[in-house]
Structure 1
Amino acid sequence: MSTWTKSLLLLPFLFVACVKADPLQKSFSDWQVTCNNVGYCVARNIPGDKGLVMTIARHAGVNDRPLLRIDYGSAYSGEVPGAPLQDNLLLDQRRLRPDLKHWTVEPHHLATSHAIAIDEFLAQILDADAIQLTYNAQAAISLHGLKAALLLMDDVQGRVNGMSAWIKRGSRALWDVPPQPPLPSLPDRGAPPAALTREETSGLLDYGTWRLSADSCSLDPMRREVNVAPLTDSKALLMVSCEMGAYNVIDLAFEVTRAAPYVARGISLTLPFTPPRGERQVELINADYDASTGQLYTFAKGRGLGDCGSATRWRFNGTDFTLAEYAEESTCDAWHSSDDWPTLWVSQPSPASAP
């Protein structure tokens, strides 16, 4: 086989290798964009506390399933008064009248997943400054940073200079884009461990409260909360609350033998990527463990309202904890509850346990 032919055969693999699947969350002026490990990206204008928010989302690959929506009012504000959006939007102080033929139209919600409708709408607004409501000038969507956010999405998904790009469109065919990276798989945990007996629970709680060396704990032993759960038939998970704030409790976690003499090993959670805050080690904040599924959850609030922060889900594989999901909202603006924070890491469900 000639060198030239070999080079041609390698081209598809080189192209696939250029997929940028490193999770990220960045802000460009008044827009925030988040892309996860499989190239799914979502962007929205910030802050959302003015009540009017536009969200644009897209999956990697040919089956991109785009979505563009405009919402007035959030889960925190509840229903807000005012006339329907479709008749009361301004674009730089002039009436904005998009063709809503392929849109879902509700009084305070407009949405479309129609690719041409999205292209047409973006062509209307990309060079403008702001969208606002006729009856509430404070409810506005700044468009500064939108182009940069969409260009980053195009770049992450390998669309730049192709016909599917939203910003730097070129002649490359619609189908000529890198495929979506594969979802990481989670190992099968197997059968759940035997429940802790009353004697095991009592002994572990006593050990965690009085005899476990936790020098880094700032809480007095009398104020510490100790939780135990079965990890395997021979080991247990022991979590000790060590620091407490207004709305966050930080635990230390240990893998401990279920019977005396107790042997403890500290458990640490390390992300397989660098998150926006730059720290790959995850503290066990407001942690909760479900022994029936082997899943460990953390939920770090950026403030008491719970509209920003980070949330993780980990799966115990019999030896260690593997990251299953990571979500983060860096902007504290009373727009998202934790259920809707953008994801930076997702995984496919583990296979069902064999009978």
Structure 2
Amino acid sequence: MHRLSLLACLFLLPLAGCGNDSAPANAQPGQTAAAPQPLAQTPQQADADSHASPKPAETKTFRDWIVGCDNGLACRAVALAPEDEIQPTLMLTLDRAAGPGAVPEVHVTGQEERLPPLTISVDGKQLAKGGTAADGAVQFDGTDAERIAAALGNGRRLAVSDDTGKAIGTVSLAGAAAALRWIDERQGRAGTSGALVARGSKADTATAPALPVIRAVPVRGEAALLDPARVAAMKREAGCETDRDLGPPQAKPLGDRTLVLLPCSSGAYNLMMAVFTVRDGKHTPAQFDAPSGMSEDGSPIQNVVDGSFENEVLTSFARGRGLGDCGIRQEFVWDGTRFRLSRQEEMPECRGSKVYLPTWRARVVR
């Protein structure tokens, strides 16, 4: 339901703007359910497709912080900007993987690229100085990150300054303790010596869950030529806008068929593209194992938003508003029959952060 709520937000504000249980994928019609197997059976091959049905996890907001964990229990907490600050000068995120001994990482980002060294303080007490450059952010790890994480749950405000001592900005810690406690609970660390906030005397022994496996197939070949009559037919089937030119379709090789990303409708900053495949001179809607883009559950024709197909990965990025500080990012891979969700990140709060929360992840084997 959380995805539906976010998509409703995407649809209801100025044209795409915003402040299930199912049978196993490998079941065949008419098959009888397999009898329970003895425990001493040969384990499934590590790279065998697990045919898991994607179930992206929920996110949770605690005042000025939001948090999410994916199905592999990789968790992220993100500081949100004040409600009245559209483009904050400073943003803070904390990442922690599942499993014993996993150390948190703290990232400082902003509207301008920051370079180390930076100084981190909470309520006037200096906690760390330095950091390393990492994809436009400054990253703190090891003992520095552990000190920062421990202070987040006990302070009121975090401040960052540059190497000259000049203040860069501050972050509210209202809700940080609850967000980190939520991570402790999800990762099975509450009451252990490895918890971020909910510390106890028990050993930190909870292991990370295994990720579902997707066996993707090679998508080499040549894309078929799309004649105007076929493009017009696909537009009619998808109910695309016809009163303006949204650009030509993209045609990409997909092994024994061609992938077609058909510009279909658009808002202020989202271009919805209907997804078809062409094979043996016939086009059909592409099949997906999870709702894509702004598609509704059960929609016969799926779409991706500002989609592309590069390096054998189909991407979609549905923005909640033009800044890109809320929405849904998705990645899909082709298994020879349908597109499978391999990664999803979400940000339901339109409050400054362009760092999204992980909600689903699979291990892709090619």
TM-score (norm 2): 0.69
Matching of residues 148-227 of structure 1 within 5 Å: 148-174=178-204, 176-177=205-206, 179-190=207-218, 192-196=219-223, 200-203=224-227, 205-210=228-233, 213-214=236-237, 216-220=239-243, 225-227=248-250
Structure 1 residue 229 displacement after superposition: 2.7
Matching of residues 122-133 of structure 1 within 5 Å: 122-132=149-159
Q: Deviations over 1:83-117 (max 9, x none)?
A: 9753x8461xxx312265xx6389x98754225x5
Matching of residues 255-274 of structure 1 within 5 Å: 255-259=277-281, 262=282, 264-271=283-290
Q: Deviations over 1:49-90 (max 9, x none)?
A: 432333222111114132134x3x52x33459xx9753x846
Q: Answer yes or no: is the 8 Å Cα contact 2:117–2:131 preserved in 1.
A: no
Structure 1 residue 194 displacement after superposition: 2.8
Q: Which has the higher contact order (CA 8 A, sep 6+)?
A: 2
Q: Report the RMSD for the aligned CA atoms in angstroms.
A: 3.7
Quick one: which amino acid aligns to residue 314 of structure 2? Answer: L
Structure 1 residue 159 displacement after superposition: 0.8
CA distance in structure 2 between the aligned counterparts of 1:140 and 1:163, rounded to whole angstroms: 29
Equivalent position SS for 1:183: coil
* Residue 348 (structure 1) aligns with: 363
* Residue 262 (structure 2) aligns with: 240
Q: Answer yes or no: is the 8 Å Cα contact 2:97–2:103 preserved in 1.
A: yes
Structure 2 CA distance for partners of 1:283 and 1:155, relative to 1, 3 Å: farther
Q: Answer yes or no: is the 8 Å Cα contact 1:298–1:312 preserved in 2.
A: yes
Q: Answer yes or no: is the 8 Å Cα contact 1:50–1:138 preserved in 2.
A: no
* Residue 61 (structure 1) aligns with: 99
Structure 2 CA distance for partners of 1:57 and 1:207, relative to 1, 3 Å: same
Structure 1 residue 300 displacement after superposition: 1.6
Quick one: which amino acid aligns to residue 125 of structure 2? Answer: L
* Residue 313 (structure 1) aligns with: 331
* Residue 284 (structure 1) aligns with: 304
Quick one: which amino acid aligns to residue 328 of structure 2? Answer: S
Structure 1 residue 158 displacement after superposition: 0.6
Structure 2 CA distance for partners of 1:279 and 1:344, relative to 1, 3 Å: farther
Quick one: which amino acid aligns to residue 332 of structure 2? Answer: W
1:329 partnered with 2:347: yes
Structure 2 CA distance for partners of 1:84 and 1:265, relative to 1, 3 Å: closer
Structure 2 CA distance for partners of 1:27 and 1:137, relative to 1, 3 Å: farther
Aligned length: 301
Equivalent position SS for 1:326: strand
CA distance in structure 2 between the aligned counterparts of 1:311 and 1:247, rounded to whole angstroms: 14
Q: Answer yes or no: is the 8 Å Cα contact 1:208–1:238 preserved in 2.
A: no
Quick one: which amino acid aligns to residue 253 of structure 1? Answer: V
* Residue 295 (structure 1) aligns with: 313
CA distance in structure 2 between the aligned counterparts of 1:113 and 1:138, rounded to whole angstroms: 20
Q: Answer yes or no: is the 8 Å Cα contact 1:230–1:237 preserved in 2.
A: yes
CA distance in structure 2 between the aligned counterparts of 1:289 and 1:109, rounded to whole angstroms: 27
Structure 1 residue 221 displacement after superposition: 7.7
The runs of 5 or more residues in structure 2 that have no matched partner are 1-38, 40-54
Structure 2 CA distance for partners of 1:55 and 1:280, relative to 1, 3 Å: farther
Structure 2 CA distance for partners of 1:255 and 1:211, relative to 1, 3 Å: closer
* Residue 272 (structure 2) aligns with: 250
Equivalent position SS for 2:195: coil
Quick one: which amino acid aligns to residue 161 of structure 1? Answer: G
Structure 2 CA distance for partners of 1:216 and 1:189, relative to 1, 3 Å: same
Quick one: which amino acid aligns to residue 129 of structure 1? Answer: R
Equivalent position SS for 1:323: strand
Equivalent position SS for 2:260: strand
Identical counterparts, % of pairs: 24
CA distance in structure 2 between the aligned counterparts of 1:218 and 1:310, rounded to whole angstroms: 23
Quick one: which amino acid aligns to residue 225 of structure 2? Answer: T
Equivalent position SS for 2:272: strand
* Residue 77 (structure 1) aligns with: 112
Quick one: which amino acid aligns to residue 98 of structure 1? Answer: L
